[in-house]
Chains A and B, each alone.
Chain A
Amino acid sequence: MEDIIVRYVTRIILPFVQLYGLYVVLHGHLSPGGGFSGGAIIGASMILYALAFNLSAGSKKLSHDVSSALESGGALLFAGMGIFAILLGTNFLGNKVAGIPIGTPGNLFSSGAIMIITFGVGVKVASTMITLFYSLIEGEDHSHDHD
């Protein structure tokens, strides 16, 4: 689809959408939001890019393999923090009890495992949305190819 208005508006709005999504993810322990909502914003920005331009341009920015790897990586980061707490000698997913430094409450880098887990969930949700969108669109393309 060739639409100069959609493309131009997307080009202007996209950095702000992605910056806002990153802000919501990274400030998940300070302000309303968190991994799920911020990841949904980042994923929606990538979907907007792929819709306004085309699928191959979107795939060039973030390929299918990379988004699949990010998706598994986000989940593994979450579970890895749990295993890390076990290695430190406490329960699965322990935070302060495991001795992870929680820093000064209110700082960006504070609250120990919460920030890392929120980041992992954000990466996972964003790449899930992108992967599902690409898979649905590509599935349609493949059916046309087979016909």
Chain B
Amino acid sequence: MMRKLLVFIFLAVIAVALVATVLEMPPIGDPMNITNNEVPQRYLEDSLQETGALNVIASIITDYRAFDTLGEATVLFVAIAAAISNLKAH
């Protein structure tokens, strides 16, 4: 009973924190949002000249942020290596 009450209080604190965070978030689609800075503007305006790719998303994930994608591929590689080494072990 005591444990359930503690869990309930803990979850309530987390819920209050999450709801407070959501209420503080900027409205969706507002042009004055801080995320609408020069970075996406540069991607949209200059990516064709700088990378030669029509697909802006491809130019972001495999050129501007290719290092991030390399990390993503590494995660995939390590995951499959761990899975195979576990499956082949027995």
Q: Is the pair B90, A143 in contact by a Cβ cutoff of 8 Å? A: yes
Complex alpha-carbon distance, A19 and B55, angstroms: 20
Bound: A16/B88 CA distance, A: 33
Distance in angstroms from B19 CB to nearest chain A CB is 34
Q: Which of A7-15, A45-53, A54-62, A102-110 lies at the binding interface?
A: A102-110
Docked Cα-Cα span, A82 to B83, in Å, equals 27
A117 CA / B61 CA spacing, docked (Å):
10
Residue pair A28, B77 in contact (C-beta under 8 Å): no
Interface residues in A83-131 by Cβ distance below 8 A to B read 92-93, 95-96, 102-106, 110-114, 117-118, 121, 124-125, 128, 131
| Separation of A102 and B87 alpha carbons in the complex (Å) | 43
Q: Are A142 and B90 in contact (CB under 8 A)?
A: yes
Are A114 and B54 also in contact (CB < 8 A) when A121-B73, A142-B90 are?
Answer: no
- Partner of B70 from the list A30, A82, A105, A132 (CB cut-off 8 Å) is A82
Q: Which residues of B contact A105 (CB under 8 A)?
A: 48, 52-54
Whether A30 lies near B84 (C-beta < 8 A) is no
Q: Chain A's nearest CB lies how many Å from the CB of B53?
A: 4
Looking at A93, A124, A132, the one whose CB has the most chain B CB atoms below 10 A away is: A93
Option from A72, A104, A114, A121 in Cβ contact (under 8 Å) with B63? A114
A131, B80: Cβ atoms closer than 8 Å = yes
How many inter-chain contacts with C-beta < 8 Å in the A-B complex?
109
- In the complex with contacts A71-B80, A132-B83, A121-B69 CB distance below 8 A: yes
Known: A82-B66, A132-B83, A143-B90. A71 touches B53 (CB 8 A): no
Residue of A nearest to B70 (CB): A78
Q: List the interface of chain B (C-beta within 8 A of A).
A: 48, 50-55, 57-59, 61-63, 66-67, 69-70, 73-74, 76-77, 80, 83-84, 87-88, 90
- Nearest first, the 8 A-B pairs at minimum CB distance are A102-B52, A29-B53, A111-B53, A111-B52, A93-B66, A139-B87, A117-B62, A29-B58
A-B contact pairs, 21 of them (CB 8 A): A29-B55, A29-B58, A30-B53, A30-B54, A31-B54, A32-B57, A35-B62, A71-B77, A72-B77, A78-B70, A82-B66, A82-B70, A102-B51, A106-B54, A112-B52, A117-B62, A117-B66, A118-B58, A121-B69, A124-B73, A139-B88
